[in-house]
Amino acid sequence: MQSTITKTDASSARARRTLKDYVGIMLRGVAMGASDIVPGVSGGTMAFILGIYEELIDSIRVIGQRDFWRALLKLQIKEILRIVNWPFLVSVALGILIAIITLSRGLEWLLINQPVLLWSFFFGLVLASVFTVSKRIPRWNARLLLALLLGAVGAYLLVGAVPTQTPETWWFLVLSGAVAICAMILPGISGAFILVLLGKYQYVLSAVNQRDFLTLALVAGGAVIGLVSFAQVLGWLFKRYHDVTVAVLTGLMLGSLRKVWPWKLDVEWLRDSAGQFVLSHGEPIVIQQRNVLPNLGGSADLTQLALAVGLALVGFGAILLLEQLANRQEKAHGA
């Protein structure tokens, strides 16, 4: 079954948005930004969970289309603003920026000092999202289940992959930026993790620290190309094969549960050409982990397990609550 929301319906719904609606969209952007801060968690996952994923893809997709570029070349500002869903994009971008500025320090502290509790919360979020997002498909069949399985297996294998050695030429930096940004808008796959797999996380991190603007420009240029190009593909898939696309993306989130499992054992760290550990905020960057069962050897372990389960349930319940609020909002707007 294809999506029943037409372009006219979507435009009409956007026209009825109030300041309160855009504040809500900004808060969803905050959730996306918070997710992107945590390695292995994708902002695309949060966009999908919070119900703004398809609009985000469609809004980015416009930037690569002929009408936008014709207006841009003619410097028709009013026409550009009419074509682009700019209030939505500005709200999302502002939320992401707020999250990066205000939450990065706290989330990084939790990631270093309380990783089990942080991952437990995200595990509950993603697990609940698998159930809620799957409801967008009114009737499952063998083809859709196969699409979900392929997405799940693909994500499961990808998040467990080992980084490779790759060239540092200009074209590969552009390619790395393009692939990483595509992963970032895919639910279940982290753009930073893709850079690690491509062997370019340390290189880009070093470029940031050393103000290597040429390298950063190549990666950023690739990211822009990848984002706009991939949005065309995703937008087309949603319009032509809506349910299959949702099934694959749901599978990606299901497979990514391997990455957000709370109890992990570090087995390999990122090293430079001299064999020294590469540090981020004073800690070695882990590039490979093995999921393990929680340790139940003492009272402290049992306390941590209880807290972890509690936070997972909080995350799970938060998604169910957000789904109910989103449904009420849709009914209020007549969607």
Instruction: Tell me the percentage of the chain whose pLDDT exceeds 90.
Output: 17
Q: CB neighbours (10 Å) of residue 30? A: 20
Give the residue ranges of DSSP H helices in the chain: 7-15, 19-37, 43-49, 53-61, 66-73, 77-83, 86-113, 115-134, 142-159, 170-184, 191-197, 201-209, 213-240, 242-260, 299-332
Q: What pLDDT does residue 329 have?
A: 64
Q: What pLDDT does residue 66 have?
A: 85
Task: Give dist(CA 244, CA 246) in Å, integer.
Answer: 5
Amino acid at 259: K
Distances (CA, A) of 188 to 21, 284, 301, 317: 26, 24, 29, 19
Chain-wide mean pLDDT for the chain?
Answer: 82
Say whether pLDDT at 27 is over 80: yes
Q: Three-class SS of residue 268?
A: strand
**What average pLDDT does range 291-305 have in this prediction?**
86
> Tens digit of pLDDT for each residue in 254-285?
988 888 899 988 888 877 777 778 776 667 77
User: pTM value?
Assistant: 0.73
Q: What pLDDT does residue 330 have?
A: 62
**What average pLDDT does range 35-60 have in this prediction?**
79
Q: What pLDDT does residue 6 have?
A: 46
Name which residue leads in pLDDT, 306 or 158: 306
Q: CB neighbours (10 Å) of residue 151? A: 26
Q: What pLDDT does residue 3 have?
A: 42
Of the listed ranges 43-57, 76-90, 279-293, the least confidently predicted one is 279-293
> Contact at 8 Å (CB) between 73 and 67?
no
> Which residues are registered as beta bridge partners of 265?
290
Say whether pLDDT at 1 is over 50: no
Task: Give dist(CA 64, CA 236) in Å, integer.
Answer: 13
pLDDT band at residue 241 using 50, 70 and 90 as cut-offs: very high
Domain ranges (residues) in the chain: 17-332
Distances (CA, A) of 53 to 9, 234, 250, 267, 280: 17, 10, 12, 34, 30
- Kindly tell me the burial class for residue 254, based on how many C-beta atoms sit within 10 Å of its own C-beta (0-12, 13-18, 19 or more): buried
